[in-house]
Amino acid sequence: MDDGKSTLIGRLLFDTKNILADQMEAIEKASKSRNDGEIDLALLTDGLRSEREQGITIDVAYKYFQTPKRKFISIDAPGHIQYTRNMVTGASNADLAIILVDARQGVAEQTRRHSLIASMLGIPHVVVAVNKMDLVDYSEDRFLEIAQSYQELAKKLQIKDLTIVPVSALNGDNVAEASPNMTWYTGETMLSVLEKVNVLSDQNLTDGRFSVQYVVRPQTDEYHDYRGYAGRIQSGTFRKGDRITVYPSELTSSIEKIELGGKEVEEAFASQSVTVLLSSDIDISRGDLIVTSDNAQPILSQDLETLICWMDDRKELKVGSKFNLQHGTSRTRCSVRSIEYRVDINTYEKIEEVEGLKLNDVARVVLRTASPIAYDPYLKNRANGAAILIDETSNVTVGACMVE
Ligand SMILES: Nc1nc2c(ncn2[C@@H]2O[C@H](COP(=O)(O)OP(=O)(O)OP(=O)(O)O)[C@@H](O)[C@H]2O)c(=O)[nH]1
């Protein structure tokens, strides 16, 4: 909290000229009414803050910006512990996580928690912004001290690609432009890291997974033979003629037609929403998973070993607790068979013999589902390896699961 998240995002938008003239005017006006009269870039993201103060539950805030090299979506995961839930839901399909550290405080509990979650979520690239360098006289020694303690943490979490940048979000040092105040730093600016990071290799582009959202069956004579399956491709590519297997039934067929935005296409790939028609009439319903037969197949099972981030502040997760498990478009009941261990947030050690999970606890939990689900291990396929736990009575999301 208050590490400078809003200011950093504001600075990125400002320096990359992604702020509209009218927004800028409003910010200048609002800043003038404050005592120091300096432009407060945090005001850009402050719509969020006033909502939060009114106690309205906000979900993840998305901000879009671009440079000549790339388009970005920034997902704001507010820093307070209670907001970890937003971080989990927002971050499971993120390519890169920026973790902010206040240079005066160094690596804090929140840094450890967010880093653990980034690593659990398999976010492939982590950039640590050591912020407020202006408040520590742009000291190289202070930066190196923080960088070293973060590197130790990163090693334990097996974070693969790590970059640590000293910045001042307020003044713009090393955000989009190299800092004249930290000539000892010879690495890249934050923006240049964001622009160069290789994200294509992070997606699973081979294993076709398509979770059926609707069965399309127009009730008119003209279309009486039409039977399409609409949904979003979670991973991989689907081509006309591909052999497919449907889960959980394991019935097979092949793709006759793919429709994208009302037009027929030869192929479609991850994150596109399409309607698929098959060459034979097999029984498929909402929640089924269509898979390309010639690639790796998912695991079909009722027993799931998962890493869970528990998000309920009222109830604890206990052995025997029952939930609805939402995986892709399928929903099934499940119960907790065992809690193997909980992860200590400070040392990342495994604590065994755990009675129950409290808000924000991260643990390894074995679940048993009422009907089999077709999943992939999360680290192989993030889209088809993640699921959420839903409270049966309140219908609220109470846990995020990464299937192992
Ligand atoms: N001196 C200095 N102050 C900064 C810097 N970055 C942010 N601040 C100040 O730190 C305070 C908190 O900044 P915010 O951007 O609102 O922090 P936040 O992390 O978004 O805070 P929450 O939204 O409450 O989680 C503000 O007063 C900022 O002006 C910096 O690089 N240097």
How confident is the model over 299-324, as pLDDT tens digits?
A: 999 999 999 989 888 899 999 999 99
CB of 207 sitting under 6 A from ligand 1: no
Ligand 1 pocket residue status of 231, Cβ below 6 Å:
no
* pLDDT band for position 39 (cuts 50, 70, 90): low
Nearest to 383 by CA among 258, 214, 211: 211
Structural domain boundaries, residue 344: 299-403
**Residue 168: which CATH number?**
3.40.50.300
| Nearest ligand 1 atom, CA 167 | 31
In this model, does residue 395 exceed pLDDT 80?
yes
User: For 128-189, where are the alpha helices, taking DSSP H only?
Assistant: 140-157
| Percent of the chain topping pLDDT 70 | 83
Residue 66 sits in the same domain as residue 173: yes
Instruction: Return the percentage of the chain with pLDDT > 90, whole number.
Output: 54
Q: What is the mean pLDDT of residues 351-355?
A: 93
Q: Say how many Å lie between the CA of residue 25 and the centre of ligand 1.
A: 21
Q: Is the C-beta atom of 42 inside 6 A of ligand 1?
A: yes
**63 has a pLDDT exceeding 80:** no
Distance 66 CA to ligand 1 centre (A): 23
Q: Hey, whose CA ends up nearest to atom 12 of ligand 1?
A: 2
The most confident of the ranges 19-28, 165-174, 192-201 is: 165-174
What secondary structure letter does DSSP report for 53? H
Q: Are residues 243 and 286 in the same domain?
A: yes
The residue whose CA has the least distance to atom 25 of ligand 1 is 1
Clarify whether residues 12 and 85 are in a common domain.
yes
* 49 φψ region: left (φ > 0), alpha (ψ -120 to 50), beta (else): alpha
**69 and 164 belong to one structural domain:** yes
**In a shared domain, residues 35 and 176:** yes
Same domain, 41 and 161: yes
Which one has a higher pLDDT value, 120 or 22?
120
Exposed/middle/buried for residue 36 (C-beta within 10 Å: 0-12, 13-18, 19+): exposed
Give the C-alpha distances (Å, rounded to integers) separating 393 from 313, 323, 371, 390. Answer: 15, 9, 20, 9
DSSP 295: S
Residue 155 shares a structural domain with residue 192: yes
Same domain, 57 and 191: yes
Are 237 and 273 part of one and the same domain? yes
Last residue of a domain, one of 161, 179, 201: 201
Number of structural domains in the chain: 3
Q: How far apart are CA 171 and CA 241, in angstroms?
A: 56
Tell me: pLDDT of 383 over 70: yes
Greater confidence, 226 or 45? 226
Of ligand 1's listed atoms, the one at least distance from the Cα of 3 is 19
CB of 79 closer than 6 A to ligand 1? yes
Domain boundary among 271, 292, 313: 292
**What is the CA(159)–ligand 1 centre distance, in A?**
26
Query: How far apart are the CA of 122 and the centre of ligand 1, in A?
Result: 28
Same domain assignment for residues 15 and 117: yes
Residue 109 or 222, more confident: 109
Q: CA 201 to CA 370: how far, in whole Å?
A: 35
pLDDT of residue 1: 53
Tokens of 151: 């590197």
pLDDT at 54: 41
Domain end among 176, 201, 226: 201
Tell me the pLDDT of the chain averaged across its residues. Answer: 86
**Rounded to the nearest 10 degrees, what angle do helices 140-157 and 109-120 cross at?**
40
Q: Does residue 102 line the site of ligand 1, with CB under 6 A?
A: no
Residues 15 and 146 in one domain: yes
Confirm or reject: Cβ of 170 under 6 Å from ligand 1.
yes
Dihedral (CA of 8, 60, 385, 258) sign: negative
> Which H or E run includes 399?
strand 397-403
Residues 320 and 278 placed together within one structural domain of the fold: no
Nearest to 168 by CA among 156, 151, 185, 154: 185
Q: What's the average model confidence in pLDDT over 325-349?
A: 92
285 pLDDT higher than 80: yes
Q: Is 120 in the pocket of ligand 1 (CB under 6 A)?
A: no
For residues 110-125, give the mean pLDDT.
Answer: 85
The CATH number of whichever domain residue 258 belongs to comes to 2.40.30.10
Ligand 1 close to Cβ of residue 99 (< 6 A): no
Q: Please check the confidence at residue 84 and state whether its pLDDT lies above 60.
A: no
The stretch 94-110 carries a mean pLDDT of 91
- What number does the ligand 1 atom closest to the CA of 173 have? 31
